[in-house]
Structure 1
Amino acid sequence: MIFPKNEHLKVCMYANALLGVWPYIFENNPTLRKLYNIYSKATFTYYLLYILTAIIQLVILLTRQEINVKEVFANLAITLLYSVTIMRVYAIKSTRMRNIIKEIMDLEDKTMASGDKQIIEIYEFHTTQSKVSNVIFLVNIFIVTALYFIHPLFVEDIIKFDAEKNETISIKALPLSSWFPYDEQKHYLASYLWHILDGSIGASFVMYTDIFTFSLIIFPLGQIHILKHILRHFNEYALKIKHQLGVTEEEASFITIRECILKHNSIIRYINDFNKEMRNIMVLDFLQSSLQLASVVIQLLVTQMNLINFIYSAQFTVSMLIRLLVYYWYGNEIIVESSNIAVAIWESEWYEESKKVKNLMLIMMMRCNRELCLEIGPFNTMSLNTLIGILKATYSYMMVIYRR
């Protein structure tokens, strides 16, 4: 079997496998696995080399006597995002992330094997949310990438005087901002095609690792909703346990609340593992998001205005906003819904339970006072308030830079 069967991770699993990033593939075929590892290293090495050329070009732009704001921000808009993606790739391949992926696959198998239609419906609803978010983001980035390749063809050539050659030269625009070991204007077609290759690989790494993170964030939200459903219908599930195991009502209630506590602990452990692996990456993503958005908008303001350039910049901005909205909307939902676990307990017929079960319910409610959240390093959490902060910072960057 090439891929393990999993609906929640299906889209991001196939996508990341194209770049050699997906860790669970060809598990039963050592030869193909070795070839896949070679392919994985080759694609990632090429990606690193491209980012290196982009950074070299950025240094060249910043060290010129006359700094071209348009060129600097065209470089930053891509280089910042691509650089953070390097850490995402390493995270996906880490042992902790492999364990998280394995946990998702195991929980999906258990959920589908349970035969509980309501729980399966809740799980499938969040699986659909994951797939839809992934597809919407992929489509938007594909459009942005295509526009990125096309828009230089609609930019007028820059005419400037070369003092060294004592002649006037015409400079044609290229899709990306990177350094070439040769004169790119003399070999424009080769440079243009090379940028198409660079842009395709770079955009693929960004969007495929992003949709993987989307799926990881949406998954615990589904588990929280399943737990809340069980707690709200506590008596029904306790009755099922009673008939299945042939125990007393009190023992069935105790077993049910114990399983709920174990599931709650499993969700907490999942969130903690995610934070340990991703919190530092999310710090860098948070710091670069405002500057990147500002860079795109500044490009729109200083670039020669025509329909293609406007559509390109607008689509790029929309794609980045979709990306941020998915991250911070679902991050916010985890905070809200994890706090509502206590409400779900209150909505059950807790007053009919024994003192022993009531005490366990109370302990579980007390644990819910410490909300679950996705961390942005030690400084902040992923929430809608943080998203608003990013947008405010974007506006501040724009005002400071554009006035200069």
Structure 2
Amino acid sequence: MPRIKLLPMLALAFMSLTAWSHGSEAAGAVSLADVVNVQKYFRAIHVMAMLLVGFGFLMVFVKKYGRSAATATYLLVSVAIPLYFLKDSLGIMGGVELDIDRLILAEFSAAGLLICAGAVLGRLKLFQYMLLAILFVPCYSLNEWILLEGGLGLIEHGALVDTGGSIVIHAFGALFGLGSIFSLTSKKEFETPIEADATSDRFSLLGSMVLWIFWPSFCAALVEPSAILGTVVNVILALCGSTLATYFVSLALRKKVSVADIANATLAGGVAIGSTCDRTVPAIAFAIGIGAGAISTFGFAVIQDKLQNLIKKTDTCGVLHLHGLPGLFGGLVALFVVKGIDVGAQLSGIGITIVLAILTGLVAGKLLSFAGSRITPYDDEEELD
């Protein structure tokens, strides 16, 4: 660009900047808190991408149920977030003042709900997913209140180490879903194979990649600004560790790498690092990811079929092995990683989560069973045009 045209443009830009600066001073300078909240907004949008695109596509691996899985994802998120806002605005079981914090916590509850829904995926009518959300969110909030806010005086406020929700979000959601399948898996549904094909597997891998990319924002959503960079590094390294472990363990156990293992167990590092994401160092985070990936892959390759044949129930997405076991592993690892941790509070939090999630899941599953059942499981055609 000729210099004669560039100089007036620079002068105009400088005058505009000066005018904006004076206007800002008149209106009041932007505070550090404002900047922090805007950054939280960015992470909240990342978490929303995880909920709708990540979880949504991860669950379309059932080849005849992909459209229903995506629709159910919309419905679950759209019920969970307003319901959590209602709970919070009424001051029931605690609450926060900032709307952006409230939104992030509501998204966390939606994440736990989507994990839970993965256990019964394909066996509920679409309206039953909304009923599941109505039943799940209060139970999730109760557990969150007890563990994080000192509710009922069972655990001292702030004593539990679980920044990124390994226990509160992942373990609770998975075990709630595990409890619900006892009333939501008929003999016909148990005997119906869950089929996948190359196309559904590709979409599932896409969902997994979206979750992988945005998981650092999930864990760092509410951490102090000074801890964000360290948290992000730890989460990424944990995901790298679980991805590598998944490949080698899947190959060793199956003699061929399973696409289902890659789509799921690679994420186990993100699940497990949640408890200590802001309290550890990169080398340990990588090791936690390796351990979680190995546990998750072993669960999918060895435990899943044996357990389901034993109880005659189906965990459609294998949430026990992606979220449940790695989540509990992450909570227990904190005992060895975090200096000065309250061992009693940590173990109590894990125990309360296990008991409360399974019991409330059993009750929710029984209540949902009264609302009827699908004629044909794992098939879009029954409800979608």
Q: TM-score, normalised by structure 1?
A: 0.29
Kindly name which structure, 1 or 2, has the bigger radius of gyration based on alpha carbons: 1
Q: TM-score, normalised by structure 2?
A: 0.29
Higher relative contact order at CA 8 Å, sep ≥6: structure 1 or structure 2? 2
